[in-house]
Amino acid sequence: MDDLLNEFLTETGESIDVVDVELVKLEQDPNNKEVLDNIFRLVHTIKGTCGFLGLPRLESVAHASENVLGKFRDGELQVSESSVTVILESLDRIKEILAGLEATEEEPDGDDSDLISRLDAIAEGGGAPVQQPEPEPDTVDGEIIDPGLGRSLKPGEVSLEELEAVFANTPGPDGSAATDEPTPSNSSSPNSGASLFDRIGGEDTLAVASHLIAQRVDTEAKLKKYFEGTNQDQRKGRFMGLMLALFQDDLDSADAVGRQLITVAGFDEAQFDGLLELIKSVLTECQVKAEAVDEAVMTFELVRDAVINASKAVTKPKADAAGRAKPGEKQQTTAPEARRTSQSIRVNVDLLEDLMNMVSELVLTRNQLLQITRNMDNSELGVPLQRLSQCTTELQENVMKTRMQPIGNAWAKLPRIVRDLTVDLDKKIELEMLGADTELDRQVLELIKDPLTHMVRNSADHGIEMPAERIAAGKPEAGAITLNAYHEGGHIIIQIKDDGRGISADKLSGKIIEKGLATEGELAGMSEAQIQKFIFHPGFSMAEKVTSVSGRGVGMDVVRTNIEKIGGTIDMVSTVGKGSSFSIKIPLTLAIVAGLIVKAQDERYAIPQISVLELVRATSAEKAGENDHKIELINDTPVLRLRNRLLPLVFLNEVLGFCTREEIEARENSDDFIVVSQVGAFTFGIVVDQVFDTEEIVVKPVAPILKELEFYSGNTILGDGSVIMILDPNGIANKANSSVSDAAAEEGSDETRVRVATGAEKESMLVFVAGADHPKAVPLSLVARLEEISVDSIEKSDGRLMVQYRGALMPLVLADPTVTLREKGSQPVLVFTDRQFTMGLAVDEILDIVEDELDIKLASEENGVIGSAVINGKASEVIDVTYFLGKAFPEWLASKDMSEDASVSRSFERLLVVDDSDFFRNMLRPILSVAGYNVTAVNCAEAALKLMESGAMFDIIVSDIEMPDMSGFEFARAVRENENWKDIKLVALSALSGEKDINRGFDAGFDDYVAKFDKDTLLRSLSQQFKIQGDAA
């Protein structure tokens, strides 16, 4: 059964029950105007809705009763027992018809003329002699003269005023008393001023038109079969309703009526077009002006999908359709009499909340009982307890179900919002909603409603481009916003996807700098995704200008906060030009969640399972074997190596103030458990003393005086009756490292953050000893992993040292000729990876990781050394990783010729390096800065162009050729076209060094073309370019 009919049945059933009671009251107190008004209103609504839905029998009975009631109200008739009896009888009849309707979805056959004539007789009998302004039954079979139409209405037809009234009161019987217009009068209620409606000629024309359309579809061979199963009157009512709704801009109603229109499967686009033709011809026939006709026909496009989808839905077996009652209601096909309208009742939400709380308590008590009996030997309690347990579980499930609502409820308003936006913004947007019947807790639903609306608005406003823009970009004119909801392992995932312009990192960057959220330098080191995520920053609004739709500065951060408040997470992927996709992950319910029970210092705590990614057991450093996880310290910051990533750690003991770091370290001989948690995109580990099991916990809010403690999201009672606190990973992350801002938070996610040298930026350096006494250093960002490789596994092959590493042979290079491999045990090795090349650098000892300014003071002439720098107060040699990579892989480096010393002093020429490879940027920067250049490095051409726009100036640009999104060739062309930058020397740096490539590079505007990995040629080329420039100047 479709929702509309269902709703109608429920509502009408309720109304009738009320009328029943009220009528009896009226009988006792005939002068109570309030009661009478109430009855009249309810009956009027029933009548109106019946007509709207095309239920002629119901409508005529209701109409006749309403007539009598109207006269009561106007004082033209005295309330008498006999008249009330007849009205009650008519209500019974209505109930009968409703029951039939519910069983078969059709009005049952039957003759009401007797009843109606009696009602009419009452109306007539006491009828005032004056001319009745309202429609009045003038024949015994209930034919009614409609003043607006000027002819008699057939049963089932709706008088125009009534339709009007129905539209005015669509929300239903309650609350609309004040606005209800009880007496249908000849003066039609003021319409909303929809010009189209007026231009077409108002209701009269529509009435005629819908009549004609209803008739014609029978004669149109193509359309006929789709309207079988409805009689002409029903059809007429629907067309009338549809047109009224459409022309008066009441889209919701139009949509609903549109779905009613076709009851036969197979109605598709072509048929709809046919129908439009028909409508057009009829409207023209009705002497509507041509432009109005066109406009009118256009409005039908709005319901095209609804009509066609409705037809598609019909293809499902009827039985199935009938069973699809309201969510939560189970079909009872075997007992049709049980399927009465009273099957669903309205329950106060507070009552449900109370019920839920009680059940939560019950669950807790049950758990407690189970825990107690577990420790008892006599099993006398066992059986009843098990039964109790089972009942409780079922009860809990069912009560949870009462709170579940389809997410479609939260989406219901979106089509309208999007439609309005399309008008406001002059865009074309199609909204697709998938998985609308995915259910979730109503509490959660309430909380995500606004964020969702906000995000869809955002997508429509910022995401989707103007039609012209879209066509220019080769996309379909109409943008698409897709909402998708589905279950995934106890969570609900909601995706909001658009195929718009995506989020431009460039534009964002400007804004970020403007708002002071990050410096240019910081931004340069971030990936596009990281920059895009700034939209979640507080006070950040994407809109270029404030529109009425969005862009008031309360943007995505509010959305994020709201979602995180309910334990959810939000993530975003956006590709410039392709669109953005947001995905929200939220727990099914807030009341009962799965919690991981952990221990710190004799106290137990629960961590919500949703934020737990995995559990890792770490062994203390001394006992750790080769493959064991162990906690390591970088300058007092504990980290864990986890699958090629460094995981920042926090000690729960320390966070909760049980012991200081020293104490933790002192007692660190036991195993630690690390709960790897995720907060937004930030992943970190919480070190706990022990991990117990996962338990279903009932989340209770903490007392108001503890609200300020951000470590806890609530508390709960465990099965054994003890109270434990529920930890909030979010708060722990914040507290443990207050510097974990979002920008930094991203760094843990997918890639190692690479710092880029701009001015005196600090660089993490790995300091080690190899050969000579003085320490050596290498930028940490270049190091892929640190390994301890067992000496036994080191093999010699082809005169080179090799080790089997991760299923492949990895060449091992000594960091210094004087390094000797250890006799036994393991050898510390730094692993460097560049694309497919992975090499190990054997060193004597790894000392430390220090954060310091990388300022190379002295260039070195020694192979493999870039120069010396003061790191951590000591002179350290900064090694040249390219040299070692070349040594390990002869093919890696085109030339190892280091003969020329390039470190001729330069007067800080400004150099811009554009390369998407982190490795190369990091490699080139020290080499070039030691050669005396003032280096700025960016990771893509777009970033470089952004610098160009911002007015930065450089003397030379060194650019990679193969870069995603914008290749070096395109970049070069863009640079050459710019007024300010057109004279800058461009040096291409590429692995593609064929003649053709080189020529292509020169064509694109490069001044020189250097093979990648050829450090010397590059330096030579640079000095040459400078020379040229100097000469020119």
Partner 1 sequence: MNDIVVRENTSIATVGVQDFVTVHLDGQQVGIPVLAVHDVLNAQQITVIPRAPDWVAGVLNLRGKIVTAIDLRRRLGLPPLEEGKSSMSVVVEHNEEPYSLQIDKVGEVLSLEDQLFEKNPVTLDPCWREVSVGIYRLKEQLLPILDVDRLLAFEGKSQAA
Residues that bind partner 1 (CB under 8 A): 361, 364-365, 603, 656-658, 700, 702-706, 708-709, 711-712, 715-717, 721-725
* CA 459 – CA 454 distance, rounded (Å): 9
3-state helix, strand, coil in the chain (%, to 5): 45, 25, 35
Q: CB of residue 381 vs partner 1: minimum separation in angstroms?
A: 20
3-class DSSP state for residue 65? helix
Residues 6+ away with beta carbon under 8 Å from 999: none
Q: CB of residue 365 vs partner 1: minimum separation in angstroms?
A: 6
Residues 6+ away with beta carbon under 8 Å from 36: 26, 69, 72, 73, 79
* CA 937 – CA 297 distance, rounded (Å): 58
* CA 700 – CA 364 distance, rounded (Å): 12
Closest to partner 1 by CB, 256 vs 727, is 727
Q: CB of residue 522 vs partner 1: minimum separation in angstroms?
A: 31
Determine how β-strand 439-441 pairs with β-strand 404-406.
antiparallel
User: Which residue, chain included where needed, has tokens 């019987």?
Assistant: 173
Closest to partner 1 by CB, 652 vs 856, is 652
Closest to partner 1 by CB, 466 vs 656, is 656
Closest to partner 1 by CB, 91 vs 364, is 364
Closest to partner 1 by CB, 723 vs 904, is 723
Q: CB of residue 419 vs partner 1: minimum separation in angstroms?
A: 45
SS (H, E, C) 624-687: CCCCCEEEEEECCEEEEEECCEEEEEEEHHHHCCCCCHHHHHHCCCCCEEEEEEEECCEEEEEE
CB atoms closer than 10 angstroms to residue 743: 20
Determine how β-strand 629-634 pairs with β-strand 612-619.
parallel
Q: CB of residue 710 vs partner 1: minimum separation in angstroms?
A: 9
Contact (Cβ atoms closer than 8 angstroms) between residue 940 and residue 968:
no
Closest to partner 1 by CB, 193 vs 657, is 657
Q: CB of residue 718 vs partner 1: minimum separation in angstroms?
A: 9
Please state, in angstroms and as integers, the Cα–Cα distance from residue 574 to each residue in 90, 504, 750, following that order. Answer: 62, 9, 16
Closest to partner 1 by CB, 658 vs 1002, is 658
Looking at 528-586, list the stretches that DSSP marks H as alpha helix, in order from N- to C-terminal side.
528-532, 556-565
Q: CB of residue 616 vs partner 1: minimum separation in angstroms?
A: 23
Q: CB of residue 658 vs partner 1: minimum separation in angstroms?
A: 7
Closest to partner 1 by CB, 489 vs 657, is 657
Q: CB of residue 716 vs partner 1: minimum separation in angstroms?
A: 8
Q: CB of residue 313 vs partner 1: minimum separation in angstroms?
A: 47
Closest to partner 1 by CB, 625 vs 704, is 704
Closest to partner 1 by CB, 50 vs 600, is 600
Question: For the purposes of burial, counting CB atoms within 10 Å of the CB of 466, is it exposed (0-12), middle (13-18) or buried (19 or more)?
Answer: middle
Q: CB of residue 815 vs partner 1: minimum separation in angstroms?
A: 46
Cα end-to-end distance, the chain, whole Å: 84
Amino acid at 426: D
* CA 417 – CA 453 distance, rounded (Å): 8
User: What are the phi and psi torsion angles at 274 (to 5°)?
Assistant: -60, -40
Please state, in angstroms and as integers, the Cα–Cα distance from residue 198 to each residue in 204, 205, 213, 420, 1017, following that order. Answer: 10, 10, 20, 21, 79
Closest to partner 1 by CB, 584 vs 733, is 733
Q: CB of residue 737 vs partner 1: minimum separation in angstroms?
A: 16
Give the residue from 272, 287, 286 showing the smallest Cα distance to 242.
Answer: 272
Closest to partner 1 by CB, 658 vs 837, is 658
